[in-house]
């Protein structure tokens, strides 16, 4: 099931990017390339990381919850429909029950729907001729809310259709519905036959009694092999509605009717349900990602490049806001305490002078190549504490905030310190603070006093862990 969910998530993301353009995934692509593996695994891993960031996992969980609710509603409808069919077939007991009409009323629609499902294999219908299964999908779409939520069932249908398991899944839903409806029908018939006295007969205007003898014997042969009663020829001829038939014969007819419903209505559906469930499970076990699909093919050069390229992995999307995410470290923490300068001017005196004992100075990040090298270094050697020093006199642009967020995700604890004459007061210092808080940093992670920041780097106080979010700061 985990493999199915991974492919499902990747397909949802592919459809979303096809409709609304690529998402900003520079950090996720870098993590995927650091993890390594085949292209298929990298595509699934990228979808997993983006799903965590964009909360697509929650969309899948909500859709599965809605799908269960839709199945429950269909189950209730099936039980009501089965009971109503039983009431319609037997009536209130004031009139004799026509055996042929009762049999047609209880089995006719069931067998007709089963015939359509079998014929769908000949016409190649991807949905498998299962209008009940399609009704279930329609109901799940109605329960979904939001543009992204609507993509979830669409992605599932596309994924299963390519895997050729959609017809079996929808078939399982349909056969399950008919099995439940037929079970409800049988239970209602048993209850009615136990509480009322019914008279069974056959009626005709143009057919001879021999036709009913043959029909009853033919339909009752297989149920009789399973232990259900079979009327004799004399009993069949006597049940023409013109003669008085003893109660024992009426009981025999009721058993014959129940046997026909079990053998020709319930058992075929249970067999088809088991077959559909088995085929669905078997095909999903062989689920493969088609890397040639639009959206996947474009990722090949970025996730598994033939040659390494410098620079950003993808252009940042308009309006995208980088945010600090909860830590899910794939590598162990090294225990190092490191400091990094972020685009500090060359003429600025070293902010941390003297440099704290026991800490590591990783220099200043200024160029794209330096940023990339530092991210790759921290990806494999995650420090315990990371202090990022920024020039408070500069304007906090979106690229710098995104870099700070990405660096923060690579350390167990992280903090931002301001250096320069505008560190404590001034409009730019306030702009820095607002942008950092909007990105998910807590107020304890922002230092305007460089001495306090140095103390935090060595002792861990007074700043708090980086994985606290803005709600925790309150």
User: Are the CB atoms for 238 and 201 separated by under 8 Å?
Assistant: no
Q: What is the pLDDT along the chain (474 residues), one digit of tens a residue?
A: 568 889 989 888 888 888 888 888 877 888 888 777 888 888 889 888 888 888 888 888 888 888 899 899 999 999 999 999 999 999 887 888 888 899 999 999 999 999 988 888 887 655 555 777 788 878 887 776 666 677 888 888 889 888 888 889 999 999 999 999 999 999 999 999 998 888 888 887 788 888 888 999 999 999 999 999 998 888 888 887 677 778 888 899 999 999 999 999 999 999 999 999 999 999 998 888 888 888 888 888 778 765 444 344 444 444 445 555 555 444 457 788 999 999 888 888 888 877 888 888 888 888 888 888 888 888 888 888 999 999 888 878 888 888 898 888 888 889 999 887 666 666 677 888 888 888 888 888 888 888 888 888 888 765 443 443 333 433
Q: List Cα–Cα distances, 86 to 111, 175, 270, 404, in angstroms.
A: 16, 19, 20, 69
Predicted local distance difference test score (pLDDT) of residue 150:
76
Cα separation of 233 and 104, whole Å?
Answer: 22
**Of the candidates 54, 90, 29, 75, the residue with the CA atom closest to the CA atom of residue 299:** 29
Query: What are the residues facing 341 on neighbouring strands?
Result: 364, 389
User: Are the CB atoms for 166 and 128 separated by under 8 Å?
Assistant: yes
User: Are the CB atoms for 34 and 379 separated by under 8 Å?
Assistant: yes
Question: 3-state SS of the chain?
Answer: CHHHHHHHHHHHHHHHHHHHCCCCCHHHHHHHHHHCCCHHHHHHHHHHHHHHHHCHHHHHHHHHHHHHHHHHHHHHHHHHHHHHHHHHHHCCCCCCEEHHHHHHHHHHHHHHHHHHHHHHHHHCCCCCCCHHHHHHHHHHHHHCCCHHHHHHHHHHHHHHHHHCCHHHHHHHHHHHHHHHHHHHHHHHHHHHHHHCCCCEECCCCCCCHHHHHHHHHHHHHHHHHCCCCCCCHHHHHHCCCCCCCCHHHHHHHHHHHHHHHHHHHHHHHHHHHHHHHHHHHHHHHCCCCCCCCCCCHHHHHHHCCCCCCCCCCCCCCCCCCCCCCCCCCCCCECCCEEEEEECCCCCCCCCCCCCCCCCEEEEEECCHHHHHHHHHHHHHCECCEEEEEEECCCCCCHHHHHHHHHHHCCCCEEEEEEECCCCCCCHHHHHHHHHHHHCCCCHHHEECCHHHHHHHHHHCCCCCCCCCCHHHHC
Output the six-digit token pair for 75: 């189950």
Cα separation of 47 and 200, whole Å?
Answer: 63
Cα separation of 265 and 109, whole Å?
Answer: 10
Number of residues written out for the chain: 474
Cα separation of 6 and 201, whole Å?
Answer: 59
Output the six-digit token pair for 171: 């078939």
Q: How many CA atoms lie within 13 A of 129 on its CB side?
A: 13
For tokens 């950092």, the residue is 436
* Residue 142: cis peptide before it, omega within 30 degrees of 0: no
**Of the candidates 464, 462, 466, the residue with the CA atom closest to the CA atom of residue 451:** 462
User: Are the CB atoms for 389 and 361 separated by under 8 Å?
Assistant: no
């Amino acid at each position: 099931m985990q493999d199915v969910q991974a492919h499902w998530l990747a397909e949802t993301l592919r459809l979303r990017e096809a409709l609304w353009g690529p998402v900003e995934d520079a950090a996720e692509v870098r993590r995927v390339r650091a993890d390594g593996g085949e292209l298929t695994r990298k595509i699934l891993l990228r979808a997993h990381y983006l799903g965590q960031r964009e909360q697509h996992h929650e969309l899948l969980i909500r859709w599965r919850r809605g799908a269960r609710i839709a199945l429950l509603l269909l189950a209730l409808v099936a039980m009501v429909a089965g009971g109503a069919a039983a009431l319609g077939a037997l009536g209130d007991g004031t009139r004799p029950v026509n055996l042929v009409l009762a049999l047609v009323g209880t089995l006719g629609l069931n067998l007709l729907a089963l015939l359509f499902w079998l014929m769908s294999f000949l016409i190649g219908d991807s949905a498998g001729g299962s209008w009940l299964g399609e009704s279930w999908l329609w109901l799940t779409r109605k329960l979904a809310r939001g543009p992204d939520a609507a993509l979830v069932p669409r992605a599932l249908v596309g994924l299963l259709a390519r895997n050729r398991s959609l017809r079996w899944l929808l078939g399982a839903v349909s056969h399950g519905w008919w099995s439940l409806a037929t079970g409800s029908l049988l239970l209602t018939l048993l209850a009615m036959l136990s509480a009322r006295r019914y008279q069974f007969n056959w009626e005709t205007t143009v057919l001879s009694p021999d036709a009913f003898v043959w029909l009853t014997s033919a339909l009752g042969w297989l149920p009789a092999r399973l232990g259900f009663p079979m009327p004799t020829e004399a009993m069949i001829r006597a049940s023409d509605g013109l003669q008085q038939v003893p109660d024992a014969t009426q009981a025999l007819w009721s058993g014959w009717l129940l046997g026909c419903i079990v053998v020709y209505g319930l058992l075929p559906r249970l067999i088809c349900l088991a077959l559909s469930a088995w085929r669905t499970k078997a095909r999903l076990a062989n689920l493969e990602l088609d890397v040639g699909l639009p959206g996947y093919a474009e990722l090949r050069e970025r996730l598994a490049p033939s040659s390494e390229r410098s620079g950003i992995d993808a252009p940042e999307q308009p309006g995208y806001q980088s945010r600090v995410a909860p830590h899910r470290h794939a590598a162990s923490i090294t225990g190092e305490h490191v400091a990094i300068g972020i685009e500090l001017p060359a003429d600025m005196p070293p902010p941390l002078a003297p440099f704290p004992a026991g800490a590591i100075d990783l220099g200043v990040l200024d160029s794209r190549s330096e940023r990339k090298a530092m991210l790759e270094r921290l990806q494999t050697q995650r420090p315990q504490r990371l202090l990022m020093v920024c020039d408070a006199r500069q304007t906090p642009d979106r690229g710098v905030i995104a870099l700070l967020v990405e660096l923060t995700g690579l350390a167990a604890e992280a903090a931002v310190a301001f250096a320069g004459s505008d560190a404590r007061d001034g409009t730019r210092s306030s702009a820095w603070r607002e942008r950092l808080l909007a990105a998910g940093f807590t107020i304890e992670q922002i230092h305007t006093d460089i001495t306090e920041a140095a103390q935090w780097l060595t002792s861990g106080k007074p700043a708090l862990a980086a994985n606290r979010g803005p709600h925790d700061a309150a």
